[in-house]
Amino acid sequence: MPTVPILMPQLGESIAEATVLRLDIAVGDTVSEDQEIIEVETNKATMGVTTLCRGIVADIRAREGVSYPVGTILGLLEVEEAEISRTGVHTLEDLQAAASQEPQRAEAPREDDANVHFRPDDDGYIEPQAVEPSVRGLPVPAGTMGAHYISPRMRARMDELGLREADISAVVGSGAGGRVTVGDLEKFLEYIDTWPRSKASPMRLSVADSMRRSWTRPLASVGMPISMDKLLDHRRSQEPKPGLTLYVLRAFALALAEDPASAGYLIGDKIVQPRSFDIGVAVQVNDGVLVPILRGADSKRLSELQEEYQDLVDKARRRRLPEHALQGGIATITNFGTFGLTWGTPIPLPNETLILGIGAGVKKPVWNDAIGTFVPSTEAEFMLTFDHRVVDGGGAGMLLKRVSEMLQAPELL
């Protein structure tokens, strides 16, 4: 009976690999078409690998906890000829034959080689690619001294280990001017060889990469306390009650629509302004953060955004966001007040210029000129972090002040 490979699918435009979380099949199981058989984790979400046809599981090559690139053979199905004709799926034999016809490839793929995968092109499947690990090396803890000039030899050794400059900041350099040598690095790696360690998840690595790229820009933050009394009063009158973050998101979108250059990108000698005010909201998930995007937040009333907002947040918490919901934002809202934090300095994503953080509301005595005494008021600290190449402190301050003004009239949101 012909065999059909179960391949790691392309789970998103920017997804190159995924980690197998759970296998829902066993050898000998009968599966139906479009059945979810393997749960995988990308660097953004949890998704399912489904079957392309009916068949019987003949082999399982995937292992839980292991990452595989797109196109890797995860298993094999035994499939009837009639089913192959009906669905038009490629058999393993088809893929092997196609690969063997490649003029630049001397060796055809082996059926028993779990480390071979196939990349599709317009005509089907082309030459197999050997799986290479995407992350190498050891975690490096914080230390007291950093690296300066990196020699070509040192750079080559770092490349072998999959290390970046930030990873060797803990290594004390013995070279000229505190330069870290290959010997220093090897000594340090030997020193920490017996330390406890755990494998970083794809989500953790994705967050680390984003923050590293974000910090290549000159970032600055401004902040101010904002009264939440009118917003809280308005929220009590609503059913269902909008989230506090949604109020701020809507006000932020409107403020940016009035001054779109604040959310622009510096590309060469030009400021490229956004065409749509699509705002992300940071959602804490296991071992990381996801940022689903609300499209056109400036053009929809609060009541129109509420259902979409709640749906995206719920999907983010379950790691079930579609790829399109994670791309194209121009700024982000993060409510770290939900953790009881009163202030913080959030970092914008690499593709965004701004991020607005919301601290926890705190009751404070505020002077009231009308009655000549202090009255209790709930205030929250708002922190706006921005790319200082695009926005100056004064501009950021005016933007934050405009958000504050809008939150004093929540009925207009």
Q: What is the per-residue pLDDT across 150-162, written as a single tens digit (0 to 9) for each?
A: 888 888 899 998 8
HSE-CB of 289 using CA atoms within 13 angstroms = 19
Residues 6+ positions from 77 with CB-CB distance below 8 Å = 3, 4, 5, 6, 31, 51, 53, 55, 56, 57, 58
User: Which CATH number is associated with domain 204-412?
Assistant: 3.30.559.10
Tell me, what's the pLDDT at 283?
93
Q: What is the mean predicted confidence (pLDDT) over 204-214?
A: 86
CATH match of 3-130 with 3.30.70.270: no
Would you place residue 31 in the very low, low, confident or very high pLDDT band (cuts 50, 70, 90)?
very high
- Reply yes or no on whether the pLDDT at 375 is more than 80: yes
- Reply yes or no on whether the pLDDT at 355 is more than 50: yes
Q: What is the mean predicted confidence (pLDDT) over 366-395?
A: 92
Tell me, what's the pLDDT at 135?
39
Would you place residue 177 in the very low, low, confident or very high pLDDT band (cuts 50, 70, 90)?
low
Ordered by start, the domain boundaries in the chain are: 3-130, 152-199, 204-412
- Reply yes or no on whether the pLDDT at 132 is more than 50: no
Most confident of 204-208, 271-275, 356-360: 356-360
Residue 129 CA to residue 152 CA, distance in Å, equals: 29
Tell me, what's the pLDDT at 140?
37
Tell me, what's the pLDDT at 268?
87
Q: In sequence order, which ranges of 237-294 are alpha helices (DSSP H)?
A: 244-258
* Residue 99 · residue 128 · CB < 8 Å: yes
Instruction: Kindly tell me the burial class for residue 227, based on how many C-beta atoms sit within 10 Å of its own C-beta (0-12, 13-18, 19 or more).
Output: middle
Q: Tokens 């490349």 sit at which residue?
A: 159
**pLDDT by residue (tens digit) across 217-263?**
999 999 999 999 999 999 999 988 999 999 999 999 999 999 998 99
Which range has the worst mean pLDDT, 10-24, 273-287, 345-359?
10-24
Tell me, what's the pLDDT at 257?
94
Would you place residue 14 in the very low, low, confident or very high pLDDT band (cuts 50, 70, 90)?
low
| Average per-residue pLDDT for the chain | 84
Give Cα 367 to chain centroid, integer Å: 44
**pLDDT by residue (tens digit) across 70-117?**
889 999 999 999 888 898 888 888 888 777 765 554 444 444 444 444
Which range has the worst mean pLDDT, 7-11, 15-19, 25-29, 117-121?
117-121
Q: Which residue has the higher pLDDT, 306 or 105?
A: 306
- Reply yes or no on whether the pLDDT at 126 is more than 60: no
* Residue 179 · residue 209 · CB < 8 Å: no
Q: What is the mean predicted confidence (pLDDT) over 279-290?
A: 90
CA distances for 233 relative to 12, 17, 227, 300, 409, angstroms: 42, 47, 12, 22, 11
Which range has the worst mean pLDDT, 139-143, 205-209, 225-229, 392-396?
139-143
